[in-house]
Amino acid sequence: MLSNIEDGQLSRRLLCMGIPPGVELEILHNRKGSVVVGRNRLRIALGKKIANRIGVKPLNG
């Protein structure tokens, strides 16, 4: 689950992409250049810089 975002500009950008705070996301791929997350049928690739600036909490722990 997306728990926190370091700055307001990034928060607005993610919200426009369909990723609001508190949303449940699945990590589909974690590669050198990007992290691909999914929610329902939505798939979004995030660059490492963006991925490193968001906080997540595991759902099962």
Structural domains in the chain, sorted by start: 2-56 (2.30.30.90)
Q: What is the pLDDT of residue 21?
A: 81
Q: What is the pLDDT of residue 61?
A: 56
Of residues 15 and 7, which shows the higher confidence score? 15
pLDDT digits (tens, 9 = 90+) for 23-61: 888 889 998 878 999 988 889 999 988 888 888 788 775
Q: Which residues of 31-42 are buried (b: 16+ CB within 10 A; e: fewer)?
A: eeeebebeeeee
Q: CA 25 to CA 42: how far, in whole Å? A: 10
Of residues 2 and 24, which shows the higher confidence score? 24
Of residues 19 and 28, which shows the higher confidence score? 28
